[in-house]
């Protein structure tokens, strides 16, 4: 029996071959291409191309032998489900703001099966679109991480990041007394970063070649043995903040790769601003590392909350 599926709002904007990959994740892409080429998959009764983008309300014909493997899209729920092992920092119709804990990778791989994306897939199983991570955070970095709730929201966020229309701000404790600018004065750091070392043991280092890396650093607190910085990324390079600060004699506290400390890494993604909305997640630091005295007055009214 031939089955048709109606494209939902959350699924709209995807290419036809991407759409098939989401509803039939165990089927090879080469099979989708053959189905489309031979007309076994049709859109609104007509032949389509693999990279045609789908719109809300379009009907996609699925071959009868594949229909049994797919399930109809569930109705989107207005309630946010409980996320096993994850905490929400905020949400709206387009995005989830996840409070990422240190030590949990964003995506599976390199010996890690558990991840933020894996837990999202489990929590939103059966939904028309599984929320998808918008940007990256290193495994040992904590903080706010955005996941798009629709395909159009995902592509919109990626375009904003590409066009430098999104802002990512971090808090970090560095070793030593900061001497590059006085308290409250922002300084721009510019370097070229390149990878060195064997695969699996690679480090990022400054050099004459490599990709340009730029950030803005503002000291919020300068103490005798450590300093609290607010860092805004102007580019997004691997380990950028860690390398640029360490190369100037101020490695991040708890960074065994680019400093001499032991975890936890005192680097936290504090705020992300996208499409005029700021999502924030205060760090769970206490004792000597509590940043609250220097950040409370920097919270803004448009910060998104659950």
Please give the positions annotated as active site: 138
**Quick count: other Cβ atoms within 10 Å of Cβ 101?**
13
Do 27 and 90 contact (CB within 8 A), yes or no?
A: no
Grouping H, G, I as helix, E, B as strand and the rest as coil, residue 292 is: helix
d(CA 11, CA 22): 9
Closest to 167 (Cα-Cα) out of 115, 103, 67, 236? 236
d(CA 172, CA 267): 4
Packed helices 29-37 and 16-23: angle between N→C axes, nearest 10 degrees:
130
d(CA 56, CA 33): 22
Closest to 271 (Cα-Cα) out of 233, 219, 225? 233
Tokens of 197: 């070392």
Closest to 271 (Cα-Cα) out of 306, 243, 222, 304? 304
Do 111 and 70 contact (CB within 8 A), yes or no?
A: no
Closest to 144 (Cα-Cα) out of 87, 213, 84, 227? 87
Name residue, tokens 């395909």: 151
Closest to 4 (Cα-Cα) out of 45, 38, 50, 54? 45
> Which backbone phi and psi does 37 adopt, to 5 degrees?
-65, -35
């Amino acid at each position: 029996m031939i089955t048709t599926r109606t494209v939902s709002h959350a699924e709209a904007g995807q290419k036809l071959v991407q759409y098939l990959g989401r509803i039939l994740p165990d089927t090879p892409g080469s099979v989708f291409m053959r189905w489309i080429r031979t007309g076994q998959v049709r859109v609104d009764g007509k032949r389509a191309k693999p990279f045609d983008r789908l719109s809300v309300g379009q009907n996609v014909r699925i071959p009868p032998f594949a229909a049994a493997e797919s399930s109809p899209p569930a109705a989107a729920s207005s309630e946010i489900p409980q996320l096993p092992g994850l905490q929400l920092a905020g949400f709206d119709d387009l995005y989830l703001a996840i409070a990422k804990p240190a030590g949990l990778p964003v995506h599976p791989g390199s010996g890690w099966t558990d991840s933020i994306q894996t837990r999202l897939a489990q929590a939103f199983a059966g939904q028309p679109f599984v929320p998808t991570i918008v940007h990256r955070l290193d495994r040992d970095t904590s903080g706010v991480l955005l996941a798009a709730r629709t395909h159009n929201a995902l592509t919109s966020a990626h375009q904003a990041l590409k066009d430098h229309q999104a802002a990512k701000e971090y808090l970090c404790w560095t070793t030593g007394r900061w001497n590059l600018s006085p308290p409250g004065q922002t300084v721009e750091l510019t370097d070229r970063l390149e990878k060195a070392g064997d695969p699996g043991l690679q480090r990022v280092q400054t050099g004459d070649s490599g990709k340009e890396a730029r950030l803005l650093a503002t000291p919020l607190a300068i103490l005798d043995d450590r300093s609290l910085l607010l860092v805004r990324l102007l580019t997004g390079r691997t380990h950028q903040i860690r390398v640029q600060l360490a190369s100037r004699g101020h490695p991040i506290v708890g960074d065994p790769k680019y400093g001499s400390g032991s975890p936890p890494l005192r680097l936290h993604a504090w705020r992300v601003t996208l499409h005029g909305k700021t999502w924030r997640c205060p760090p769970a630091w206490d004792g000597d590392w509590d940043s609250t005295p220097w950040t409370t007055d920097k919270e803004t009214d448009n910060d998104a909350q659950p």
